[in-house]
Amino acid sequence: MKKFLAMLMAAAMVFGAAACSSGNNTGNNGGNAGNDGGSGDAGNDGAIVIRIGGIGPRTGDTAMYGLATERGAQIAVDEINALGGDIQLEYRFEDDTGVAETAVSAYNTLKDWDVDVIYGCTTTAPCVSVAAETYADRYFQLTPSASSTDVTADKDNVFQMCFTDPGQGVTAADYVAENGLATKVGVIYNNGDAYSTGIAQGFIAHAPEVGLEVVTEQTFPDDSNTDFTVQLTACRDAGAELVFMPIYYTPAALILNQAKNQLNYSPLFFGGDGMDGILGVVDESLAKGLMLLTPFNASSTEEATANFVAKYEADYGETPNQFAADGYDCVYAIYQALQQIDNLAEIAAMDPAERHTALCDALVSVFTSPDFSFSGITGSGMTWGTNGEVTKDPMVVVVEGGAYVTQ
């Protein structure tokens, strides 16, 4: 037994050595992008090279969200590097399996790689842990989709591309009330998930203020839950005209299916941004009439969006969802902010240990400056406050004919 453990250990050490060497022996300003699964050809000699390190789940239950953020950002990095400007990006994405422990070690792997800017994490709980580390170490961090207020709370260096959870709940309640969609509302959410619970609680707290009556609150414990007829029956029996479902699209697909096929119950269904992606997993007839709050519409004819969607479909064989779009915007927002840093060349010439601190301070002041505004495919005229939360116009879409129609 001991021998095999020793061998196992030896094997692990070999891997470790390989990992270390590939992490450390890369000069940072030489424009030698492309190692370590990094991407893009930093073709422009003498350009400033900035390393963006992404973190998100590539394996496990939430892999589909993490992979989407990884790929969306990859497309942006490739586009920016192809422009051949003065700033070239090196990009590397590490797996956190959706767990805080792994996310922190992924972050440290990126530190070993002399990362300059942290992009991530995809999900909330890992992001809170990583944000505490980046705050202490002084790295600029922009998350595409970790939407809890805990992510940015008390940290000046962490920014979000997505709406905060309670903010989204409030926006949804306002929208429902203003448009007179319903007065009696049922809420179904995942009480094992921070994102879902955050939006639901924001909605439930705000609903009475705008004249909505929450007739029932139903929960389920996990996204791998399969049966929702009890929750739907409760909504039906309570007379809910609208069912608010701030949940991810995988359980939502089952809810739509069971409401129609088992209960003949057809209220207005209203979802949050996690619902984006639903068109890929339900039949057109089921999704018809579904409303959701999403910053991104893949069927939009706008040039930037259409261009992104085409590239994503060509590279990965599926339609991008808002996670991918948020990732794409994150990289462009960082790029735009980098361009506005006056002494970027000076910062880039610093030693890696000091560079990220200087870059963090510079990027924070750009992001929070009143003149900084970013327009991307998940919204235009976005601005950030000192609390790291984004301000952008919410967009509500309704599904018609298998596509989103902006309201």
Partner 1 sequence: MSFLSYLITGISLGSIYAIIALGYTMVYGIAKMLNFAHGDVIMVGAYVCFFAMAGLSGQMEAGSLAAAVVPQVAGVLLAMVVCTILGVVIEGLAYKPLRQAPSLAVLITAIGVSWFLQNAAQLLWGAAPKNFTSIVSGAVSLADGTLNISYVTMLTVVTCLVIMVGLTTFIGKGKMGKAMRACSEDKAAAQLMGINVNATISVTFAIGSALAAVAGVLMCSAYPTLMPTTGALPGIKAFTAAVFGGIGSIPGAFLGGLLLGIIETFTKAYISTDLSDAIVFLVLIVVLLVKPSGLLGRFVPEKV
Partner 2 sequence: MSGKTKTLRVRKTTVNALINYAMVIVVFAATQILIGQGAISNTIQSMLVPVCCYVVMAVSLNLTVGILGELSLGHAGFMSLGAFSGIIAATLLQDAVPAAPLRLAIAMVVGGVFGGVGGVIIGLPVLRLRGDYLAIVTLAFGEIIKNVIQVLYIGLDENGLHFATKEANLALSETGKAILKGPMGATGVAKLASFTAGFLLILITLFVVQNLVDSRAGRAILSLRDNRIAAESVGISVTKYKLMAFVISAVLAGAAGALYGLNYSSTVASKFDFNTSILVLVYVVLGGLGSIRGSIIAAAVLTLLPELLRNGAINDYRMLIYAIILILVMLVTNNPTLRGGVDMAVKRIRGIGKKEQTEGGAQ
- Nearest Cα to Cα of residue 324 among 81, 11, 61, 54: 54
Using CB under 8 A as the binding rule, the residues of this chain from 183 to 202 that contact partner 2 are 190-194, 196-198, 201
Centre a 10 Å sphere on the Cβ of residue 47 and count the other Cβ atoms it contains. Answer: 18
Choice between 87 and 187, CB closer to partner 1: 187
**234 contacts partner 1 (rule: CB under 8 A):** yes
Query: 158: which strand partners?
Result: 141
Nearest distance from C-beta of residue 9 to partner 2, angstroms: 5
Q: Which stretch binds partner 2 (CB under 8 A): 8-16, 78-86, 240-248, 268-276?
A: 8-16
Helix and strand numbers, DSSP H then E, in the chain: 14, 15
Q: Is 71 helix (H, G, I), strand (E, B) or coil?
A: helix
At 388, the amino acid letter reads: G
Does 37 interact with partner 1 (rule: CB under 8 A)? no
Residue at token pair 């998940």 = 378
Question: Is 121 a residue that touches partner 2 (CB under 8 A)?
Answer: no
For residue 120, is it left (φ>0), alpha (ψ between -120 and 50) or beta? left
Residue 67 or 348: which CB sits closer to partner 2? 67
* Residue range at the interface with partner 1 (CB under 8 A); choices 23-31, 126-134, 227-235, 336-344: 227-235
The residue (of 133 and 318) whose beta carbon lies closer to partner 1 is: 318
Q: Does the footprint of partner 1 cover residue 280 (CB under 8 A)?
A: yes
**Binds partner 2 by CB under 8 A, chosen from 95, 326, 329, 389:** 95
Amino acid letter, 184: K
Pick one of 86, 209, 227, 354: the residue that binds partner 1 (CB under 8 A).
227
Structure token digits, residue 324 = 């991918």
Which of 55, 68, 118, 128 binds partner 2 (CB under 8 A)? It is 128
- Pair of tokens at residue 134: 């980046």
| Nearer to partner 1 (CB atom), residue 86 or residue 227 | 227
Q: Which amino acid is at 279?
A: L
SS3 per residue for 206-240: HHHHHCCEEEEEEEECCCCCCCCHHHHHHHHHCCC
Interface residues with partner 1 (CB under 8 A)?
Answer: 59-61, 63-64, 67, 191, 218-222, 224, 226-227, 229-231, 233-234, 237, 249-251, 253-254, 257, 261-264, 277, 280-283, 318
